Structure 1
């Protein structure tokens, strides 16, 4: 390989701007539409039974196709997949904003999920192969981690502003300028090394098995929230998912060119990163879901003010990611950032379990949000870098897709599990407090707060578990120095020259 081939692309920092913009768009979309959903439902006459499909259609397509999207990025090229994903996401968003009926809106959400599944792993894998020098990689992943972590809260603010001052359709249309700018930037400045491509034939049986398996899993948790954990359809979906995913693992161990090479997930450190990230996202969903309801339904915050209330958490995430995680990643082993980071975040949740009907935002909610943000920002950044660190360039797409898959499945589990826990807690509390002089409105608020507090207690426990997983499973050294080849140890590390 020539000396010039080893030189990093001087445009990579400009490229990071456009990769970050695309990631922000995908993360925003997860929460910005939630805020607009009541308005869209009223405008289009969406039934209560179909309302959940506005969220579920996106989650199923996105979660089910992520590994396929990652493999397409390795096959077609990450830059090309990135651009196709952006253009498709913009077109699907335009369709959603112009929706005239329920079917059109649901179809657009499914299409957003399809193109998001191309876009998200392509973006992360571009980052993984463009930034290989340790200190630069730390800075790049610090910025990316801050966007990935804080984007959801920014989506709450943006969704509130657009819904309150324009209308719900702009929560879709807002994606178009993001996508156009990111696509133009990708055409002009993003380059990727040609030698990192995986040109093997596509593993069609693997694609079918993992897609149907993940769709069954995500949909199973969605149905559990509405129908209960022991309903026939919920249990049937979980059994189908287990069988399909077990068959997928079997196929991947036998075929010559697997969709997901098992070496990617069987690596102890990478597997630990995927697992702890998934657990942490369950905890985060608990915070977003129940604190949003608490602020609006109990404290009577407007949608805009609710979004603004989350800003300190975003600031904490940016600080934790860029000032703590990025600065220490090249000097400190990942588990010494991830395990304490998740514990600090859990301490924030522990504070928030103490919410009451009349809790003070500055005295209680603010410190909880700041700790949550600082902890998550510190832990997410090294976790995302570790999940793609040392992977062979030809596997960068699927390794990146696994990061997104663990988060997406974690989000689906978190939403269903914690909503079920909250509903059960509310029912039990209401039965136990039927008699008394309390006004109906106050009784309803107290029931709500008890259910939210109970769910946040579970989120706290799940984050403590994420910290334990990171501390026990992850044993690699810091990510300084050269990039390590797949399967190499710290003692016999071999540089991987991807530029």
Structure 2
């Protein structure tokens, strides 16, 4: 397709911005709270509202892109993203700010699965699909770690409102360029009924689960509210599974989980997202609260991760995958991530960037760059054209749930070890405890890759095969 790389550049940039927005506001919280009179609990909702709506509506967004047309949903989502960002940037109260963040999450839930589906459509039957999916996965990893960097620079230089307002021209430009560059892709399958009950129960269940995980960090894992919310989430998700089993046109056909590669790709991205995004979040606290970095310095201290992920995924990921296969690529990546995660255990009250932080950043960045290529290809390669939106949404849901769960659990562990103390030594002990868990999670991912992914049977540079609709 003529201009496919121009279209891909637009899509991958959009994915980068959406994932970046998960973390960009974290460093801007102190001045944000001071100006709008928001408490620490209020401020936590600026992140929670985005991730809750984003994760809760991803499956619905994926299916809508299959039914209504991927370009149409993408454009609508980007325009909504620009409008919601403007609301956040101009907010005069905490309530308006949080509402703007929730609307951003809704827009992201529409755009993310539509964009990945368009990538699969643009590169259908093209050997370059593997490279494109590697770059796509890298954009997510780089976006999450770049968010804290850009958030610090913008906050120190232009004020906290700039972390919202910067998205307005991006959203408008992406919406306009999409009409010119993207194909009006939609499912080739005939129009069918829409699984409204499945959409409601999956959205409600994922939203409640995300809320319960975040609430647990504030109220404790045994608090009545947390337990009640968790029970409601599990009940809603159980109802969703029952509905999908009986529905003639399910939102997510349950037989998709019988596909070995889909199952493996989702398991791996869940484990790595749960382990490492929490580590990066805690490192922003460690560098500021223990090492005394400014917001900008804290963000810049993670640049090495972003750069290494981008270079590895774009220059090596696709080549290694084509030459050695999915299992080798994933295992190599997870081995590097496990080693890097273990090196973070060396942090102390007087650590330096060059000796303590840079080596594990390079290792984890390199490993993630390889792993995300393998996981993305595995999770999407067995989807038929009519399923691409659904499978893309499922992959994004898995990643978002992993991030939410990982941060909730690791922050709780760190806080439990630290207690009420704010002494640097106590904080370091808490962070180390969380990093031990992260290392164990990634190591379990290594075992999963060896178990779930097929070995290399032949050398080929052909793109992954997709299932044709029955």
TM-score range, shorter chain: over 0.9
Superposition deviation, residue 363 in structure 1: 1.4
Equivalences for 1:172-321 in 2 at 5 Å? 172-194=164-186, 196=188, 199-321=191-313
SS in 2 for 1:290: helix
Answer whether contact 2:66 2:186 (CA < 8 A) is retained: no
Separation of aligned partners in 1, 2:126 and 2:380? 13
**1: distance between equivalents of 2:278 and 2:36?**
29
2:337 alignment counterpart: 345
Cα 1:426–1:416 shift into 2, 3 Å: same
For residue 358 of structure 1, give the secondary structure of its aligned residue in structure 2. coil
User: TM-score, normalization: structure 1?
Assistant: 0.90
The answer to which of 414-423 and 260-269 deviates more is 260-269
Q: Distance in 1 between matches of 2:96 and 2:35?
A: 13
Counterpart Cα distance in 2 of 1:398 and 1:479: 28
Identify the residue that residue 26 of structure 2 maps to in structure 1: 34
2:56 alignment partner in structure 1: 64
CA distance in 2, matches of 1:482, 1:322: 16
Q: Do 1:138 and 1:326's aligned partners in 2 also have CA atoms closer than 8 Å? A: yes
Gaps of 5+ in 1: 1-8, 431-442, 487-495
Q: 1:251 to 1:220 in 2, by over 3 A?
A: same
Is the contact between residue 70 and residue 114 of structure 2 (CA under 8 Å) also seen in structure 1? yes
Residue of structure 1 equivalent to 2:423: 444
Between the aligned partners of 1:52 and 1:111, the Cα distance in structure 2 is: 16
1:346-365 alignment, distance < 5 Å: 346-365=338-357
Kept after mapping to 2: 8 A contact 1:285/1:411:
yes
Q: Give the corresponding residue for 1:436.
A: none
More deviation, 86-95/282-291: 282-291
Give 1:134 shift. Answer: 5.3
CA change 1:312–1:33 in 2 (3 A) is same
Q: CA deviation at 1:480?
A: 4.1
Equivalent-residue separation in structure 2 for 1:104 and 1:120 (angstroms)? 24
Equivalent residue number for residue 140 of structure 1:
132
| Superposition deviation, residue 49 in structure 1 | 3.0
The CA deviation at 1:242 is: 1.7
Q: CA deviation at 1:323?
A: 2.1
Query: How far apart, CA to CA, are the structure 2 residues paired with 1:26 and 1:280?
Result: 19
Asked if 1:23 is matched to 2:15, the reply is yes
Q: Please report how far the alpha carbon of residue 152 of structure 1 lies from its aligned counterpart in structure 2 after TM superposition.
A: 1.6
Residues 52 and 105 in structure 2, CA contact (< 8 A), matched pair in contact too:
yes
Which SS does the other structure have where 1:348 is aligned? helix
Alpha-carbon distance in structure 2 between the residues aligned to 1:206 and 1:330 = 37
* 1:70 partner SS: helix
Tell me the residue number matched to 1:75.
67
Q: Which residue of 1 aligns with 2:445?
A: 466
Aligned residue pairs total 467
1:426 aligns with 2:451: no
TM-score, L = length of structure 2? 0.96
1:13 aligns to what? 5
Supply the distance in 2 between the matched residues of 1:444 and 1:130 (Cα, whole angstroms): 54
Preserved CA contact (<8 Å) 1:24 1:148: yes
- Structure 2 CA distance for aligned equivalents of residues 485 and 396 of structure 1: 10
Within the candidate set 397, 409, 412, 2:401 is matched to: 409
- In structure 2, what is the equivalent of residue 171 of structure 1? 163
1:26/1:341 CA distance change after superposition, 3 Å: same
Query: How well do the aligned residues superpose, as a CA RMSD in angstroms?
Result: 1.8
| SS of structure 1 residue aligned to 2:26 | helix
- Structure with greater Cα Rg: 1
Secondary structure, counterpart of 1:330 in structure 2: helix
Write the distance in 1 (CA, Å) between the matches of 2:403 and 2:464: 31
The match for 1:453 is: 432
1:75–1:198 CA contact under 8 A, matched in 2: no
Instruction: Please tell me whether the aligned partners of residues 132 and 483 of structure 1 are also in contact (alpha carbons under 8 angstroms).
Output: no
Q: Look up the match of 1:493.
A: none
| Structure 2 residue aligned with 1:489 | none
* Cα distance, 1:78 vs structure 2: 0.8
Q: 2-side partners of 1:247 and 1:479: how far apart?
A: 43
Alpha-carbon distance in 1 for matches of 2:365, 2:272:
12
CA distances 1:49-83 after superposition (whole Å, capped 9, x unpaired): 32211111112111111100000000111111111
Deviation per CA, 1:142-170: give whole Å up to 9, x if none: 22122111112221121111110111111
Deviation at 1:466? 1.5
Question: Residues 108 and 300 from structure 1, CA distance in 2 versus in 1: closer, same or farther, beyond 3 angstroms?
Answer: same
Partners of 2:460 and 2:359 in 1: CA distance: 31
- Which residue in 2 is equivalent to 1:481? 462
Q: Deviations over 1:340-362 (max 9, x none)?
A: 21221111111111111111211
Cα distance in 2 for partners of 1:244, 1:359 equals: 46
